[in-house]
Amino acid sequence: IIREKITNFVTQACWPLKVKKLVTGLVQAIIVGDPVQTLKYLLPKTCESINKIMNDSEANILLNCHKGDKELTWYLILFSELVRARGDTLIIYKQMIISVFHRCIQIIHKVSYKAIAKAAKHLLKSLTHVYMINIRSTIKNIDGPYIDFLPIRAWGQPINVDTCQVQYHIPNDDELDFVREFVETFIYAELDLLKEKSLKQSNNERLRSLTIIHNIAIGCFRIVPRFSSPNVQNLIPTVVPCSSQFQNQFSIYSKVPKFRENLRLRLLIDMGKLLNVLVEHHSDDVSSIKIAHKIYSATSICYGASKHHINDMRKELQSNKLFIKNKLCGERQNPQYLTMKRIALQIELFEMVEYGTLTEIDKQVTLKLFELSINRYSEIRRHAQIELFSVLHRYRFSSQVIVNRIIKFLNTSGTVDHDQIKGCLYILLGNNTYFMLTEDSWITIEKLWPAIVRMNHANKISTQNLLNEIKNKINRVFVTKEIIQNINEKSIHSAIDLWRPIESNTMKIREERNQINIQSYNNLMESLSSLLKSNILTWRQQEMTMSFLCLLLQRHVQIPSSSIRTFVDHLIHDNIELRMYATKSIAALCRLQKPTRIYVEKSIDEIFYDNKEKLSSINMHNEYQPGDRDDNLWVTINGYKPPETQIEWEEMCFLDRTFHGYYTWPKMIKYPMNKRIRYTENNMSEQIAIIHDRFIDKNFIIQLTKLISLNENTDGINYDYIRFSMFKGLFRNFGLEFVDHFMEQLYELIREKIHEKQEGNHRLAADIVGGMMRGSKHWTLEMVSRNISFSIIHLLTSFNHEYEKKLLDELWKKLIPFLTEVCLNLNSETLCHWNKCFKYAMKHEDPRRMYRLIDFICTLINNQITSNTFNEISRWSLIQTLSMFQWRIPSLWCSIYEHAKELIDHPLKLIRENIANVLSISLSFDIKLFNGNSTRHPNINQCIDSICQRLHQAIETYEKTPLVHNYDHSIEANAEARKALNLIDTGIDIMLVLTNKAIT
């Protein structure tokens, strides 16, 4: 009964477009579930209905009618879905299927011939592809009585891949013979028709023929071998041969059908000629040209699977996993449905992957598509570029075939074809899957990037926009490619064990390639640097060049000196964008030139012994006790005594990550010593000396600070982390050498009297000071030249320790008066920048290492004398930056709490808000987690009880005492009531902040 109803529902109605999608989905589902019975009841009836419609009317009318027949169109759509069935089930209806194609393949109604073309593709894929045929959610028999097995109980149950019992459709001889017969019957007829009447056909007739050819080709290319053609020479070679004429074939095929000729080559020749004719005589027929492009590129790259289809399958699988996968079942426990989907995806991927190298015929395809990609007609260019990207993405290094041609167009002087330039730029821009400017070799990048920079044909806005898009895409996706291929010995030995010994010339080839890459990289850097110095570039080109140079910085090959000079010189350039890139580059260079850290790895027992602590009981029993314990007191600021000698300072175990010791202790801890070699005049290379010599020049620093401060007078500019990184790197690498010159400029910046310049000057001063404090993190007390012998160093040890100790103290003797003056002169515009300065200086730092800065902030806590109201607000705002140290400064939080709780009824609203934030921060570390304890921080329960008690008193006072009094027609506020109201307001703020912290 159900089968009859579905049959009648599907075959006895002409459904509108929206309903057709739902009905075809139903047909696909029942075809997959039971193809034999579905074809038995639906396919004969559908074919009979199609033949009846064709017989009832004159054949020529239906074949040549552009309006078509709705009923016939629906049956053709239904027919195209039915031939999706398994290949072995379709063989029975071979003659019936071929007869339908004979009757309907000449129909010129667009929807109808698209349906018959899809039917051809689905039929050929069903006959030639390997795919799963049992994708049920269970492997048990579902045809038995429900008492024995209820299928619904198997839904969503996890299954082991090894027990899936996957069955596959493997084409047999009859199916492959059917494919050969079908293809030779229909595709050659359409090719001959195009060859004879391509100029006489209407656009719609031509499009019909091309659509049929395209779908037949896509359907059968799975079993059509590659061209017999030699590989292209002079591409980047591989030491491992990876090309084979039959590599894309499944070995399980019993035979490969022999067509009357190489179908790929025939389509390549015919489509190439047809494209020439269409471009010359029918350039308005964009749809036909688009399909011809697809067929032409498919002859080179299509081997059965579609990249877009695979992407759709992958997206469907990911979305299904979100809805179906049971995360409680474990990492690899998936329902059978998901497992089957994954297997189907892997089969499609296996079909698509073709590791063939570029042949001479593939090269001709690439060149042909390139010529069409720079055609004068935009639509022809656009569709040709899509297919060109597919070919370039398929074959590794195939872009080298067209690189020189692109460069020739870009470097052409004088009058050029604007459409050709735009076509080349669009090719360079690429698409979502291929981007030539970053995915190819260093040789290609060396040629293309300078050519783009010095291109002189950007007169039109559209060309300028394309160049901007190319620059932005390079900045967005470029990742420094490998310059030196360096494989460790362990990997080489493992590869030898798995495969075979390395041939004698392999290592030589690798060294040659490494040298070529290094030479290409150096040439590229020097070419871009020389272009900047040549003064022939526009400001847009200069900006692009600087952005490229920034991207090319890396640590594996030494940066050319000319490029470093370029970066330093542009720090004081007139153009703000160039200065921004120069700042970014110097920050990166300072990081690349950073002296190596000296790491120490010790067991936690050794560290406890060095710090004179008792062994941790939680480590002995592998326990977790989050919070305050005796064994983690030594990492807090409580009772910390700064080292008195250099050796003590170096050997002190500083742990910058806040999680160390909070829950438990690891068995081994690796941490950097507070010792690092710094550069002096005797131990710096030429590249380092370039930066040193410019920043040691006082006039250069004056000019730098003035130029930066001039551009800082615009609204909406926040604290500049990149500039902070640059100054941090300078002070980290060179120590105190630049400090005196910068201190002079710092005082000038903060003492600026013109109001419009104050915010910008303070922002720059905050960047510099933050860099000083953070850069001194690993300052050693040993700055003796590395050229002195060890014995002399040993003799001078005592002198150096004392001398360098004074130097380290000297930095803070200069900074503390400066910071004091800053704190006394803050305003609403400059406060946020100094907050950021303190936060970045303390970020990921051990509070014991930053004890000098903490001591300075303690003076802010204890300072009861304020020059103005905003100074009080600023003081408490800066104190909040201590939250970067979290739980490791308990004594400070207690001190802050004691000072702040007395000010919760302060008369000023802004001060009360800051007090509420400070109190909530100090109380937020009083947390008792499972098996944990909190004893060192302010007690939140006592605080809340105290506040509640004061709130009750305040409420009573407020209810008894009026807020205002009227004396002799004058209104006066009652101080006691006002104070009570302020207390209520602050108490509410504290509760809100604590609640938000608890939620987040």
Rounded Cα gap, residues 468 and 461, in angstroms: 10
DSSP codes, 823-855: HHT--TTTHHHHHHHHHHHHTT--TTTTHHHHH
- pLDDT (0 to 100) of residue 787: 32
pLDDT digits (tens, 9 = 90+) for 465-493: 999 999 999 999 998 888 888 888 888 88
> How confident is the model at residue 803, as a pLDDT?
41
Q: Say how many C-beta atoms besides its own lie within 10 A of residue 289's C-beta.
A: 26
Q: How many residues does the chain have?
A: 1000
As given in the structure block, the two tokens for residue 909 are 């609203």
- The predicted pLDDT at position 510 comes to 82
Q: Residue 136: which of 322, 286, 335 has the closest Cα?
A: 335
Distance between CA 264 and CA 843 in Å, rounded?
63
**Beta strands of 590-703 (E only): which ranges?**
599-603, 668-672
Per-residue pLDDT at 210: 94
Q: Supply φ then ψ for residue 644, to 5 degrees.
A: -95, -20
Q: Please give the model's pTM, rounded to 2 decimal places.
A: 0.82
Predicted local distance difference test score (pLDDT) of residue 785: 31
Q: What is the DSSP letter of 970?
A: E
Specify whether the backbone of 234 is left (phi greater than 0), alpha (psi in -120 to 50) or beta: left
3-state secondary structure of 207: helix
* DSSP assignment letter at 630: G
How far apart, in whole angstroms, are the C-alpha atoms of residue 49 and residue 96?
A: 12
| Cα-to-chain-centroid distance, residue 918 | 37
Domain ranges of the chain: 1-128, 139-169+306-347, 171-226+250-303, 354-467, 489-592
pLDDT score of 466: 92
Q: What are the backbone dihedrals phi and psi of residue 964, each rounded to the nearest 5 degrees, phi first?
A: -130, 155
Q: Quick one: pLDDT at residue 980?
A: 78
**The predicted structure's pLDDT at residue 789:** 31
What CA–CA distance (Å, rounded) separates 858 from 862?
A: 6
* The pair of three-digit structure tokens given for residue 775, joined into one six-digit string: 């850069």
Measured between alpha carbons, how far is 853 from 842 in angstroms, rounded to an integer?
Answer: 9
- 348-352: Cβ within 8 A, 24+ apart: 348/305, 348/309, 348/310, 348/313, 349/305, 349/310, 351/129, 351/130, 351/222, 351/248, 351/303, 351/304, 351/305, 352/303, 352/304, 352/305, 352/306, 352/307, 352/310
- pLDDT for position 794: 36
Asked if residues 772 and 738 have their Cβ atoms less than 8 Å apart, the reply is no
Write the single-letter amino acid at 56: D
- DSSP code per residue over 717-751: ----HHHHHHHHHHHHHHGGGGHHHHHHHHHHHHT
The pLDDT value given to residue 668: 87
Of residues 751, 731, 743, the one with CA closest to residue 702: 743
CA-to-CA distance for 723 and 721, rounded, in angstroms? 5
DSSP H helices in 664-796? 686-695, 698-710, 721-734, 739-750, 755-775, 790-795
Counting other chains too, the contacts that 428-432 makes at CB distance below 8 Å and 24 or more residues apart are 428/452, 428/470, 429/466, 429/469, 429/470, 429/473, 430/389, 430/473, 431/385, 431/386, 431/389
Structure-block tokens of residue 959? 């209810």
Flag residues of the chain having pLDDT under 50. Answer: 244-246, 248, 713, 715, 782-805
Q: How many helices (H) and strands (E) does the chain have?
A: 43, 8
Spacing of C-alpha 146 from chain mean position: 51
What is the model's pLDDT at position 941? Answer: 85
Contact 976, 953 (CB under 8 A): no
**By the 8 A CB rule, do 183 and 261 touch?**
no
Sign of the alpha-carbon torsion through 55, 57, 58, 63: negative
Q: What is the torsion angle, in degrees rounded to the nearest 10, for the CA atoms of residue 990, residue 992, residue 993 and residue 997?
A: 130
Q: Specify the pLDDT at position 805.
A: 47
Q: What DSSP assignment string belongs to 298-348? A: HHHH-SS--HHHHHHHHHHHHHHHHHH--GGG-SS-EEHHHHHHHHHHHHH
User: Nearest-CA neighbor of 263 among 223, 229, 293, 301?
Assistant: 223
